[in-house]
Amino acid sequence: MARRSVMRYVDWTLRVDYSGSEPIYEIECMTCGESSAPVEDPGPPQDWALRHAGKTAHTGFRGLNTTFFRAEHADECEPSP
C-alpha cells in the first residue's frame, strides 16, 4: 500500500498580538547592571532611571521594550485599513 502526501505551501505574516499583555518596559543601567521592574507603563522605569542617576551619577541606560507577536497564515489575516 503506497502512501501519498499532499503539501500546501502557505504564506505567513507576523502581527502584534493585542489579545494578551500590553508591551512591557524596563530600563537597565549600563554601568552597574541594575534595572527597573518590568511593567506595562513606561513612566515608572523612566522615573527609576532618573532616581538611579541621582543616587549613583550613572548616566548610561538601555531601554528594554517587550512586544508580543503572533504568526498567522496570510490568507487568514484581515486586510489593513
Tell whether pTM > 0.85.
no
Per residue in 3-47, pLDDT (tens digit) is 888 777 889 999 999 888 899 999 999 999 999 999 999 999 999
The whole-number pLDDT of residue 13 equals 92
Query: Using 50, 70 and 90 to split pLDDT, how confident is the model at 81?
Result: very low
State the pairing for strand pair 61-66/24-29: antiparallel
Describe the chain by its helix, strand, coil percentages, rounded to 5. Answer: 20, 30, 50
